[in-house]
């Protein structure tokens, strides 16, 4: 089966992100395909490359990057939710006159149209929310 995940919870204030990663590992171990993860609402904080959690906590940003590297899973971030929360990639930082950026590949800023397309392309779209 082909899956996509919708993550709506921030990485360290809810269990949504951690649960989504564990679910992703389980379905990939069973031979399913994970096409993409779409980060929405506070879930966009998963794409913040400057996050530096304590060493005794899982580094969820790195875990998402490893998922992408190992399986080619797209990591899509809602652009409007990200900009509203101060998360910009280099292109958007230049466009808005900001001096730095906090989102970079493999995370990609996209619109809600991508989420709708995902829902039509995959067999299952599973939501993880706080």
3-class secondary-structure state, position 50: coil
Average pLDDT over residues 47-74: 94
Digit-coded pLDDT (tens) for 1-36: 999 999 999 999 999 999 999 999 999 999 999 999
Q: How do strand 74-78 and strand 107-110 relate by DSSP bridges?
A: parallel
pTM for the whole structure: 0.95
pLDDT of residue 108: 97
pLDDT of residue 58: 87
For residue 19, count CB atoms less than 10 angstroms from its CB and return exposed for 0-12, middle for 13-18, buried for 19 or more: middle
Which range of residues forms the domain containing residue 121?
2-128
Query: What's the CATH number where 49 sits?
Result: 3.40.1260.10
Select which of 21, 63, 78, 118 is catalytic.
78
Show the tokens assigned to 60. Answer: 């969820």
Show the tokens assigned to 10. Answer: 């921030």
Look up 65 and say whether it is catalytic.
Answer: no
Closest by CA to 75, choosing from 19, 18, 118, is: 118
**52 pLDDT band (50/70/90 cuts)?**
confident
Average pLDDT over residues 119-126: 96
CA distance 92 to 31: 37
Number of Cβ within a 10 Å radius of residue 112: 13
Task: Give me the number of domains the chain comprises.
Answer: 1
Closest by CA to 59, choosing from 87, 90, 21, 100, is: 21
Closest by CA to 10, choosing from 38, 62, 60, 45, is: 45
């Amino acid at each position: 089966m082909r899956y996509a995940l919708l993550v709506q919870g921030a990485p360290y204030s809810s269990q949504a992100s951690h649960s989504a990663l564990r679910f992703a590992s389980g379905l990939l171990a069973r031979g399913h395909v994970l096409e993409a993860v779409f980060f929405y609402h506070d879930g966009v904080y998963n794409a913040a490359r400057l996050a530096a959690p304590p060493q005794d906590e899982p580094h969820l940003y790195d875990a998402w990057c490893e998922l992408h590297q190992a399986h080619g899973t797209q990591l899509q971030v809602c652009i409007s939710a990200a900009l509203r929360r101060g998360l910009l990639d280099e292109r958007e930082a230049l466009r808005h006159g900001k001096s730095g950026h906090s989102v970079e590949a493999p995370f990609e800023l996209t619109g809600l149209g991508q989420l709708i397309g995902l829902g039509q392309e995959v067999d299952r779209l599973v939501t993880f929310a706080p």
